[in-house]
């Protein structure tokens, strides 16, 4: 793969859930390797699968590489496919009151529905713990009931159950938002400078993330907040201390690391789109999510250009591409023809 093709494997761009194949042109012209289905819809699984099947695969040597197709299907207010055959998925807060058996059964059923529709990756579960009594003031998670609970040990057990159930259905589980958004007040989608001054590198609130990793999460999503007890100088998404030292080193995670949306998010609006992608990969990350698809090309161009000029960065790009392709292979999205 040339550098442009490698860069394409490291970007995930948004495409409307109501017209999933709108990304075809961008994928064909710019080697885009992954898409995120955004919006809300009650459309049929069969109709969605038809459009997903029209998304082009990439050929590299004797390998056929299909795109990752992701969606936000947590439950509660964050349920992209809803109504009709999809029904209503309870919020994380409600799911956290269920028995492990019920949680595993229902999560597996929802994930199987996604798999039948051609969705290969769910941006779930939410592993953030929200302290009791702060739910309403926690803008990104507690305000919407997205958390599984207020006790990190209990949340860790639920995250293990949910992650394993999603994986068993043949869908990639994404544990988010590392190292946690449960203690902040601002929402990184709409606010700059969101800061967590409590979470440490040995915090009990990291337990749910470790549980998801141990249960087989294919991806860990990084927060765009600042964690002053870990790295006061960088947002987590641009922090080697968070991604390389803590997540990959201390916690032993060697899989794919992705951003939260860094296309429209206010938290990163002071950084150019291309530099958002470059700085994330430099910090040890792999897959850059931009919901606005019109930013994907500038991100890919910046990554490819930097890789062509900087040998160390090129090595990081190759390592990231290897992790993404390994994930795709494990998900049945990369196949090699016989010699």
| Residues 212-237: tens digit of each pLDDT | 999 999 999 999 999 999 999 999 99
User: Between vectors from CA 6 to CA 241 and to CA 295, what angle results, nearest 5°?
Assistant: 75
pLDDT above 90 covers a percentage of the chain that reads 96
pLDDT above 70 covers a percentage of the chain that reads 99
Q: Give CA torsion, residues 154, 289, 292, 69, to 10 deg.
A: -80
| Positive or negative: CA dihedral 235, 274, 267, 223 | negative
302 near 274, Cβ under 8 Å?
yes
**pLDDT beneath 50: ranges in the chain:** 339
Q: What is the DSSP letter of 67?
A: P
Query: How high is the pLDDT of residue 338?
Result: 58
Q: What pLDDT, in 10s, does the model give residues 134-152? A: 999 999 999 999 999 999 9
Whether the predicted model's global pTM rises above the 0.95 cut: yes
Task: Supply the CATH classification number for the domain 3-331.
Answer: 3.20.20.300
Query: How high is the pLDDT of residue 336?
Result: 87
């Amino acid at each position: 793969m040339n550098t442009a093709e490698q860069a394409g494997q490291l970007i995930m761009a948004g495409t409307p859930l109501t017209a999933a194949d709108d990304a075809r042109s961008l994928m064909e012209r710019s080697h885009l390797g992954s898409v995120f289905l955004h919006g809300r819809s009650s459309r049929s699984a069969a109709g969605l699968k038809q459009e997903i099947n029209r998304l082009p695969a990439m050929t590299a040597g004797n390998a056929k590489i299909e795109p990752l197709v992701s969606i936000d299907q947590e439950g509660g207010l964050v349920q992209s496919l809803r109504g009709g055959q999809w029904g209503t998925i309870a919020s994380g807060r409600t799911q956290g009151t269920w028995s492990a058996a019920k949680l595993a059964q229902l999560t597996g059923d929802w994930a199987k529905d996604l798999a039948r529709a051609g969705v290969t990756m769910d941006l779930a579960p939410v592993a953030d713990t929200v302290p009791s009594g702060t739910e309403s003031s926690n803008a990104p998670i507690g305000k919407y009931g997205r958390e599984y609970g207020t006790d990190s040990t209990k949340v860790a057990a639920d995250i293990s159950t949910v992650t394993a159930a999603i994986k068993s259905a043949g869908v990639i589980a994404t544990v988010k938002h590392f190292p946690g958004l449960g203690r902040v007040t601002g929402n990184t989608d709409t606010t700059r400078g969101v800061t967590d001054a409590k979470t440490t590198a040995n915090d009990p609130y990291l337990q749910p993330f470790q549980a998801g990793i141990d249960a087989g999460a294919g991806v860990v999503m990084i927060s765009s907040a600042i964690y002053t007890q870990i790295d006061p100088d960088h947002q987590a998404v641009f922090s080697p201390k968070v991604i390389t030292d803590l997540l990959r080193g201390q916690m032993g995670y060697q899989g794919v690391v992705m951003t939260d949306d860094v296309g429209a998010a206010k938290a990163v609006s002071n950084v150019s789109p291309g530099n958002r992608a470059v700085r994330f990969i430099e910090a040890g990350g792999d897959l850059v999510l931009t919901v606005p698809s019109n930013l994907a090309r500038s991100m890919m161009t910046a990554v490819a250009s930097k890789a062509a000029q900087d040998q160390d960065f090129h090595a990081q790009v190759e390592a990231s591409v290897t992790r993404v392709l390994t994930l795709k292979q494990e998900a049945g999205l990369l196949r090699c023809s016989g010699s």
